[in-house]
């Protein structure tokens, strides 16, 4: 179950691309359908690049450490990148 959770965007992309291949190529291969498949694959790749989790930069970490413990209560929220 962890593999499904950690790679859910990959599995969703494969499912979407598989359905697109099934519906576009079921009546035969045409150049317009091939172009549509390439555009769908490119859109899925770009959406992965935009939505994937990334690490905080050094400046964000040093800013956080500077604000932490300034005599006020701190609410710390931890989030998983997946």
Reported pTM: 0.62
CA distances from 76 to 36, 64, 65 (A): 45, 11, 12
Taking CA atoms, 41 is separated from 11, 15, 29, 30, 50, in Å, by 13, 11, 17, 17, 14
Span 39-70, pLDDT tens digits: 999 999 999 888 887 777 888 788 877 877 67
**Residue 57 structure tokens:** 């930069």
Calculate the average pLDDT of the chain: 84
Using the 8-state DSSP alphabet, how is residue 26 labeled?
A: T
d(CA 77, CA 29): 51
């Amino acid at each position: 179950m962890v593999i499904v959770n950690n790679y859910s965007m990959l599995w969703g992309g494969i499912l979407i691309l598989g359905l697109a291949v099934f519906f576009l190529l079921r009546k035969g291969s045409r150049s317009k359908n091939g172009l549509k498949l390439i555009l769908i694959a490119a859109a899925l790749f770009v959406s992965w690049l935009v939505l994937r989790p990334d690490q905080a930069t050094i400046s964000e970490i040093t800013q956080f450490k500077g604000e932490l413990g300034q005599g006020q209560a701190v609410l710390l929220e931890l989030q998983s990148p997946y």
